[in-house]
Amino acid sequence: MYEHTDKERLLLAVDCIVFGFDGEKLKILLIKRGFEPEKGKWSLVGGFLKKNEVLHDAATRILTLYTGLDDVYMEQVGTFSDIDRDPEERTVSTAYYALINIKNHSQKLNRQFSARWFSVEEAPPLIFDHDKMVRYALDRLKIKAETEPIGFELLPEKFTMRQLQNLYEAIWNVSLDKRNFISKVRSLDILEKLDEKDMTSSRKGSFLYRFDAEKYRTVERNRASLNL
């Protein structure tokens, strides 16, 4: 019950799992901590909730601080409360995941915070319970990708079919049949095929596509399933 003696005030942190995609592999943004505790080890980007701030704003603030980006897709993953997760003081942390497009991503972050992209499989061990947060965030991303088209957030404006397929293969850690993938994506009718070709990937070149924002929103509203 709401008895006064039980009320304990504690620190509430926010940690962000920043997912990015480079056309090949799914990546997360990590920083080498320049401060105690655990100075020198890799961690998620994070900070503390301020008095007159809601969690989502705190997550956005932290993301902007570390990446220079705003207007980023973010979603709450969950709140982690193990007693000794932070050795300094009892701290509960709410994790958010963000989806960002690596190409839009200024390089200043590297200099300031020793931030680096790691592919999800090759990331180093993280401090505190951050590995657990990443696992939860990945699970959420996998589920999200089943019912909502997340490419808008993770891919550059123009991309090839191969890149789109790589994205889903990376998220679900599966390999998909090219023909089935393409026909499924086509049936969703949210892509616009451009006349341009990307010539970097092959001699033949591959056509570029773009999301059709209009159709895309319709699909989002209908929660159309992307069962690949």
Among 24, 40, 50, 196, binds a second copy (CB under 8 A): 50
- Angle 31-101-150 from CA coordinates, rounded to 5°: 115
55 belongs to the binding site for a second copy (CB under 8 A): yes
Site for a second copy in 161-190 (CB under 8 A): none
Q: Which helix (H) or strand (E) holds 132?
A: helix 130-147
Q: Which partner in a second copy, DNA, none is near 116 (CB below 5 to 8 A by kind)?
A: none
Other residues' Cβ atoms within 10 Å of the Cβ of residue 182:
15
124 belongs to the binding site for DNA (CB under 7 A): no
Binding mask 11-30 for DNA (x = CB under 7 A): --------------------
Residue 151 DSSP class: H
Among 162, 172, 212, 215, binds DNA (CB under 7 A): 162
| Spatial distance between the Cα atoms of 173 and 142, rounded to a whole number of angstroms | 9
Dihedral sign of CA atoms 20, 22, 23, 27 in order = negative
| Spatial distance between the Cα atoms of 97 and 59, rounded to a whole number of angstroms | 9
Q: What is the nearest approach in angstroms of a second copy to the Cβ of residue 21?
A: 25
Q: Which residue's CB is nearer to a second copy, number 200 or number 227?
A: 227
Dihedral sign of CA atoms 116, 92, 64, 142 in order = positive
Name the site residues for a second copy (rule: CB under 8 A): 1-2, 6-12, 35, 46-56, 65, 76, 78-79, 81-83, 90, 92, 94, 143
Give the footprint of DNA on this chain (CB under 7 A).
Answer: 160-162, 177-180, 182-184, 197, 199, 201-207, 225, 227-228
